[in-house]
Each structure stands twice: as structure tokens, then as C-alpha cells.
Amino acid sequence: MADTPLDPESPKQTPRPPGEATASPVALAEALPVEPTGEAALILKVQSGDHLAFAELYSLHKRRIYSLCLRMVGNAAEAEDLTQETFLQLHRKIATFRGDSAFSTWLHRLAINAVLMQLRKRGLSLISMDEAMEPDPDTGSSRSFGAHDPALHGSIDRMALERAVRELPSGYRLVFILHDVEGYEHTEIAAMLDCSTGNCKSQLHKARLRLRDVLRSVPEQEAGR
């Protein structure tokens, strides 16, 4: 069997013992390779250069990818550019997709990489752990040690939180979105951002503290109107 030219990654090829081809129709049908269906079939078509299949794949995933980009950059025009870049990357790289992970996960990572590339071009840098608890350069205030401010009392206005997330500095927003919204682990985010997990935890904490500050000031602003 050593000379059997099977590609272990290929879903179309199933090893079969010699003589199986003369078995009963039922056994033969069971032994036949299973044709990919649904999205797997679509991906194979795209890999063979089918442009219509690529359009269909775009239709299936455009909302998820655009929404992800929009969350991460907080700007519609930029999210459009990044969605375009993600699908261009997909077109260039889909031949390398071997089905080791779910396609949606793979595409999700392409989109995140596109966003990170863009943010790095703009000079995104994560703040180090040492700086994480230093006074806030924007407000001049230090973190809320012992602050007697009103608590959130377990309820948050979703729109206010979304607004506050959009206004976070890009490094904080990125970690917050990846961890709290998208559900990635600190180790995964640290690998994506090329930073330590300690730094990642610190960024997330600072993002949540910043959001807390903003959300607690919302009722005050409303009362002042």
C-alpha cells in the first residue's frame, strides 16, 4: 500500500481494499467516495476557478466578514475596504485551504489578519503591561482606585455600550472585540497581535475600565442636558 498515490487531505479519495469494486451494488455505493455537498462543494468549485461559485461564497459570508471588520475598525468606509481586501486574499489563497479547520474559521482569520495589517500600517501599537496601570494620557486621570462613582448596577444600554466601544482607542477596541465579542482566548489573541498574554489581559482590562468610565458618565451627561 506504500505506493498508493493518495493525498491524505483530499476528501475525494477514500482508500479501498482490492476486489471491493466487484461487491454488491449496496456495498459498492457504501464504498464509493462521498461527493462533497453544500459549502464544501462550493469551495472545490472556487478552487478550480469557478467565478460564479466565488460570487456565491461571497454572498454566503459577506455579512459576517463585513460585520467583523466594522466592529474592529468602527468605520463603515474602512470596513468596506477591509471586506474587499479579505475576499481578495481569499481568492488568492483559497487553493491552500485544505479543510483542516472550518472554512468560516479560516475566513474569519483572514479578515482579522487584514484588519491587523491595516492597523499596523497606521501605527497601532499595544501598550505594555508596565504602562497599563499608569495615568491615562488622554484624561490625565489614574485608574479608578477607590473611586466613589456610581456603579452600573448590572444594566447597560446596548447602544451606549456600542458607541463607547467605537470610541475606544484602536488597540483597546481590538482586544475587547476579539475577546469579549468574538470569544477568542488570550493566548490566541496574543499570537495574533504578537504580544504577551499578560499584555493582552492588561489591554482588555483597560478597555473594560475605559468603557466603565464612559458608561458611568452617560447618566450624568443626560442629567446635565
Partner 1 sequence: MTEDPSNLSCHLFQERLPQMIGSGEDLASHPHLLGCPLCRALLADLETIAEAARQLFPVAEPPDDLWLQIESALQKEKTAQERDLESGA
| Comparison of 116 and 132: residue with beta carbon closer to partner 1 | 132
| Burial of 134 (C-beta count, 10 Å sphere; 0-12/13-18/19+) | exposed
Q: Does 162 bind partner 1 (CB under 8 A)?
A: yes
Cβ atoms of 46 and 59 within 8 Å: the answer is no
Binding to partner 1 by CB under 8 A, coded x per residue (else -) over 170-199, reads ------x---xx-x--x----------xx-
- Is the separation of the CB atoms in 132 and 197 below 8 Å? no
User: Is 193 or 200 the residue whose CB approaches partner 1 more closely?
Assistant: 200
Pinpoint the alpha helices (H) of the chain.
Answer: 25-31, 38-47, 51-73, 76-93, 103-121, 129-132, 158-166, 170-176, 186-193, 197-224
CB 133 within 8 A of CB 143: yes
| Site membership for partner 1, residue 70 (CB under 8 A) | yes
Tell me how far apart the alpha carbons of residues 79 and 134 are, in angstroms, rounded to a whole number: 32
127 C-beta neighbours (distance < 10 Å), count = 17
Q: Does 144 bind partner 1 (CB under 8 A)?
A: yes
Q: Which one of residues 46, 57, 73, 83 is an interface residue with partner 1 (CB under 8 A)?
A: 83
Cα–Cα distance measured from residue 160 to residue 215, given in angstroms and rounded to the nearest whole number: 7
Distance CA 14, CA 17 (A): 10
CB of 102 to partner 1, least distance (A): 18
Least CB distance from residue 92 to partner 1, whole Å?
8
Check residue 202 for interaction with partner 1 (CB under 8 A).
yes
Residue of 88, 95, 102, 117 that binds partner 1 (CB under 8 A): 88
Q: Which of 139, 151, 222, 225 binds partner 1 (CB under 8 A)?
A: 151
Q: Is 152 in the site for partner 1 (CB under 8 A)?
A: yes
C-alpha cell at 145: 482606585
Distance in angstroms (rounded) separating the CA atoms of residues 200 and 208:
12
| Closest distance of CB 11 from partner 1, Å | 26
Stretch that binds partner 1, among 106-114, 119-127, 151-159, 217-225 (CB under 8 A): 151-159
User: Looking at beta carbons only, is 16 or 216 nearer to partner 1?
Assistant: 216
Q: Give the residues lining the site for partner 1 (CB under 8 A).
A: 55, 58, 62-64, 66-67, 70-71, 79-80, 83-84, 87-88, 91, 132-133, 143-148, 151-152, 154-156, 158, 161-162, 165, 176, 180-181, 183, 186, 197-198, 200-202, 204-206, 208-209, 211-212, 215-216
